[in-house]
Homo-oligomer: A and B are copies of this chain.
């Protein structure tokens, strides 16, 4: 039989609720002597609080949902970047005594369902599109604190944390421009007039503006951010942009595929084409040539996400502007000056 509050109470000769107070650290309400006695018996009997019972009674669960997009029948496609986030987030929550419910969501209704069903104390949204975040109103998330990571949605309910995408892309483009490149391709997923990719595009353009090169034409290549899409881009790059001497990609994994595809086609990197990535995932230092990229502070992003969410959970006023983490250029071997022509 499992040990319950009642068992402890009987063994200690006190009421159930005194035990409850001890367990929950409400020491002000119990004499030090009683606390000790109860503590001892709890340890002796190996009492473990029943979380569902606690959740039911307290309408709170000490459980945080980490919601990640997933096609219905698909397994969670967790990017290297999000994997690292996941690890840090779990640690952060664990240190604060919270538990993590990981859930792939295929349709918006599942967000509401997850939140309400489990009496989640809060949720982190990782990897959703801005328009999906935009659609989250009180009707779907209720009063549960929710925070979006890497989102530019202006939804005040989800104000969260992200990297300084604008500056990152600007640094990347500045690096290429300073090396002497002028014909630079911007490669990334389709974007609208808001969001991570759009910000990176603006930052990219800003570097040109900074140098009075505003009029310069910058071809955009729309590609998904996978290795294979990078390889595909390499195949058509020479014909679609014969004059290009450099490519800025919005993700390392895309840059890595691009470099491999380029090499296969006999194009030297960086001698013929320089490539800059974004993220600084581990792999980027393993490939040849090592990738020049923009490093995000993943640990910092996770920590801020957890801290902000838990602040909301515990009822502290939450800032209405997102926390923006700095990024930095990591110069490695995939970039050099353009070859004389």
A-to-B contact residues, CB < 8 Å: 2, 48-53, 55-56, 61, 63, 66, 70, 73-78, 83, 86-88, 90-92, 94-95, 99-104, 112-113, 116-119, 227, 256-257, 260, 263, 282-283, 285-288, 299, 302
26 A-B pairs (CB sep. < 8 Å): A2-B116, A48-B116, A49-B117, A50-B56, A52-B55, A52-B119, A53-B56, A70-B90, A75-B91, A76-B86, A76-B87, A76-B90, A86-B102, A90-B102, A90-B103, A91-B104, A100-B102, A100-B103, A101-B101, A227-B282, A227-B286, A260-B286, A283-B283, A283-B286, A287-B288, A288-B288
CA gap between A288 and B288 in the complex, in Å: 6
A70 to B99: give the CA distance in the assembly, Å. 14
A260 to B61, CA, bound (A): 47
Question: How long is the Cα–Cα vector from A86 to B84 in the complex, in angstroms?
Answer: 13
**How far is B113's CA from A99's CA once the two chains are assembled, in angstroms?**
12
| A44 CB, nearest partner CB in chain B, Å | 15
Question: Inside 8 A of A116's CB, which chain B residues have their CB?
Answer: 2, 48
A104 touches B118 (CB 8 A): no
> Once the chains bind, are A50 and B288 in contact (CB under 8 Å)?
no
Minimum C-beta distance from A116 to chain B (A): 5
Rounded to whole angstroms, the CA-CA distance of A90 and B126 in the bound complex is 15
Q: Which residue of B lies closest to A227 (CB)?
A: B286
Given A56-B52, A61-B52, A104-B90, A286 contacting B77 (CB threshold 8 A): no
Contact B73 A78 (CB under 8 A): no
Q: In the complex, are the beta carbons of A78 and B83 less than 8 A apart?
A: yes
Is A75 touching B90 in the complex (CB atoms < 8 A)? yes
Which B-chain residue is minimally distant from A114 (CB atoms)?
B99
* A148–chain B nearest beta-carbon distance, Å: 20
CA distance A92 to B74 in the complex (A): 9
- CB <8 Å contact, A99 and B90: no
Q: How far is the CA of A77 from the CA of B288 in the complex (A)?
A: 25
Taken together as a complex, chains A and B put the C-alpha atoms of A70 and B89 apart, in Å, by 13
Supply 19 further A-B pairs (C-beta < 8 A) apart from A51-B118, A75-B90. A48-B117, A50-B117, A56-B56, A63-B101, A70-B94, A74-B91, A75-B299, A75-B302, A76-B86, A77-B87, A78-B86, A86-B102, A94-B104, A99-B101, A99-B118, A100-B102, A227-B285, A263-B288, A283-B286
